[in-house]
Amino acid sequence: MTLGQPLTDQDRKDWLEALRDHETAQPSDPNAPPHLVMTCSALKRHYRDVLREGGVHAGNLRVRFVFLHAPEEVLVERAARRKGHFAGANLVHSQFEALERPESEEGDVLVVGVAGRGVEDVDREVENKVREVMMEDDGSYLRVL
Q: What is the pLDDT of residues 3-20, one digit of tens each?
A: 566 677 888 899 899 988
- Residue 130: inside a domain, yes or no? no
Domain count, the chain: 1
pTM as predicted: 0.77
- Residue 50: inside a domain, yes or no? yes
- Residue 14: inside a domain, yes or no? yes
User: Per-residue pLDDT tens for 56-94?
Assistant: 777 767 788 999 998 988 887 877 776 665 566 667 788
Reported residue count of the chain is 145
Calpha distance 108→137 (Å, rounded): 11
User: Per-residue pLDDT tens for 30-50?
Assistant: 776 666 777 788 999 999 999
> Comparing 95 with 139, which gets the higher pLDDT?
95
User: Per-residue pLDDT tens for 104-142?
Assistant: 999 989 999 988 898 899 999 999 998 888 777 665 554
Domain of residue 63 covers: 9-18+34-115
- Distances from the Cα of 65 to the Cαs of 88, 106, 129, in angstroms? 24, 9, 11
First-last CA distance in the chain: 30
